[in-house]
């Protein structure tokens, strides 16, 4: 190990940056995020130093370097574009017992500046020992995507309760298990979701339960939108929760590729929800989520698309709230956005549609349950979920209520997946074209002038076109 990883407390320490170019500026901007007293020394400075000066973060000295300039400083960064000058600075600083960093010359450094993931007070540093700084930055970029922004708040919460937890749980091994359970349980999830007050209340309740000798508080339920099918459309938070879950309750619209990303040893419970073939009725799903959480489990309710758009997520969190079960909701890319994008159909467009309406084509009895008068509106895109079974009746009713028979219409099957099929037609011919192509669920129907743009804008190649235009 060429460099020992340490974290320096720069509070009120005088730090000197020698150099006035872009490299020196980057170091100055980094130090400006600390409480260090920063001085930059150079004959001339990049214009972007001025905002730092105005904010009081840095002092500029416009002069050439002399070894006497090092007096009074605790730390020195040599960031000029003159390698011989940088070597002179390093030699002079070392003679005075100062720590010195020379940009891009690790052999002259007492310390190096790593790539940083800042989730203050949580700080993650990545270093290649100066050998491959670009590689360190690439690793940092990956960590940035994996570590939620609110991890810093979670660290602050743990710091706030640290001494109290030590009093309530004096045994170090039990205390370690306590923190693992808390940080990965409902308290942690509430904080990562930005619910700081609820997280603090849950922490208080956890400590009270331990004092009283009660069982641990309930687990946590996350309603997670899995998106329309393409695993690349999952949010970072969705992926993290799926990989931390004890139990995942999923429905038919969650693709196998997405399920493959769930933690391997997690319990997986299929909830069905195919049309008229519910493996578990909704009320039983609600009870199941409550029961699993009361067993102390981290539960992910994985739903295709977005939980709050025809996903009945509202009903599920009502049941959780009634039982005081901590929960979070993770939005997903809904089928309308995902399928339309992959089919090259913008849902709104200045020349074609100034509004967009989402409706469900679920039938009540023998007919789709829609308010037809509000569905036929000029320059509006109509998006119909779950409309395949009643497609003929839907199209006929729209025409009866004033929609032009030649209005462009599209049916998208298995949108955003490799099996995607896009059928382009008109309102009067879409049902016939869907029968000819043996369309099968899951499907999404888009009706409106914007469908005209599909041929021009679609990049998805497995598209079938036909019917009148």
Catalytically active residues are 251, 273
Burial string for 221-241 (b: 16+ CB within 10 Å, else e) reads bbbbbbbbbbbebbbebbbbb
Q: Are 396 and 403 in contact (CB under 8 A)?
A: no
- Find the radius of gyration of the CA atoms of the chain: 30
Q: What span, in angstroms and rounded, lies between the C-alpha atoms of 130 and 463?
A: 50
Task: Give every CB contact of residue 188 below 8 A, 6+ residues apart in sequence.
Answer: 154, 182, 199
120 cis-preceded (ω within 30 degrees of 0):
no
Q: How many C-beta neighbours within 10 Å does residue 370 have? A: 23
Q: Name the one residue in this structure whose structure tokens are 């349980």.
A: 185
Q: Which of 454, 200, 192 is nearest to 345 (CA)?
A: 454
Q: Which of 425, 350, 354, 356 is nearest to 385 (CA)?
A: 356
With vertex at residue 225, the alpha carbon angle to CA 221 and CA 230, rounded to the nearest 5 degrees, is 140
Sign of the CA dihedral running 456, 458, 462, 468: negative
Q: What is the largest CA-CA distance in the chain?
A: 91
Q: Are 410 and 395 in contact (CB under 8 A)?
A: no
DSSP string, 50-65: HHHHHTTSEEEEES--
Q: What span, in angstroms and rounded, lies between the C-alpha atoms of 17 and 59?
A: 10
Ordered strands of the 99-102 beta sheet:
58-62, 37-42, 14-18, 75-78, 99-102
Q: Which of 306, 289, 307 is nearest to 298 (CA)?
A: 289
């Amino acid at each position: 190990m060429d460099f020992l990883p340490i974290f320096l407390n720069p509070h009120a320490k005088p730090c000197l940056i020698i150099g006035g170019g872009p490299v020196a500026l980057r170091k100055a901007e980094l130090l400006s995020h600390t409480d260090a007293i920063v001085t930059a020394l150079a004959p001339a400075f990049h214009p972007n130093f001025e905002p730092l000066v105005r904010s009081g973060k840095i002092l500029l000295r416009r002069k050439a370097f002399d070894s006497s300039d090092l007096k009074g400083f605790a730390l020195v960064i040599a960031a000029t574009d003159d390698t011989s000058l940088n070597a002179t600075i390093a030699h002079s600083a070392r003679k005075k017992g100062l720590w010195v960093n020379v940009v891009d010359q690790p052999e002259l450094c007492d310390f190096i500046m790593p790539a940083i993931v800042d989730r203050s007070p949580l700080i993650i540093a990545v270093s290649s020992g100066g050998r491959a700084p670009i590689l360190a930055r690439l690793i940092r970029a990956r960590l940035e995507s994996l570590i939620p922004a609110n991890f810093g708040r979670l660290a602050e919460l743990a710091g706030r309760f640290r001494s109290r937890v030590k009093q309530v749980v004096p045994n170090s091994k039990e205390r370690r298990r306590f923190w693992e359970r808390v940080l990965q349980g409902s308290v942690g999830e509430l904080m990562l979701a930005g619910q700081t007050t609820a997280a603090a209340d849950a922490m208080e309740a956890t400590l009270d339960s331990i004092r009283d000798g009660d069982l641990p508080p309930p687990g946590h339920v996350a309603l997670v939108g899995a998106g329309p099918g393409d695993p690349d459309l999952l949010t970072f938070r969705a992926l993290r929760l799926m990989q931390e879950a004890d139990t995942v309750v999923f429905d038919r619209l969650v693709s196998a590729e997405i399920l493959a990303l769930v933690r391997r040893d997690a319990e997986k419970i299929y909830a069905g929800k195919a049309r008229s073939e519910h493996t578990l009725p909704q009320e039983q799903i609600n009870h199941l989520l409550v029961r699993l959480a009361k067993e102390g489990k981290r539960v992910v309710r994985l739903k295709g698309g977005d939980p709050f758009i025809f996903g009945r997520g509202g009903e599920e969190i009502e049941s959780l709230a009634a039982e005081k079960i901590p929960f979070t909701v993770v939005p997903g890319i809904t089928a309308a956005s995902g399928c339309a994008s992959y089919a090259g159909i913008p849902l709104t467009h200045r020349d074609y549609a100034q509004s967009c309406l989402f409706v469900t084509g679920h039938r009540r009895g023998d007919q789709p349950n829609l308010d037809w008068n509000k569905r036929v509106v000029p320059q509006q895109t109509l998006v119909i979920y779950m409309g395949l079974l009643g497609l003929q009746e839907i199209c006929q009713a729209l025409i009866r209520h004033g929609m032009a028979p030649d209005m462009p219409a599209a049916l998208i099957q298995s949108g955003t997946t490799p099996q995607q099929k896009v059928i382009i037609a008109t309102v009067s011919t879409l049902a016939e074209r869907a029968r000819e192509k043996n369309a099968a669920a899951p499907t999404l129907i888009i009706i409106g002038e914007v469908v005209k743009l599909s041929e021009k804008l679609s990049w998805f190649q497995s598209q079938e076109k036909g019917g009148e235009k």
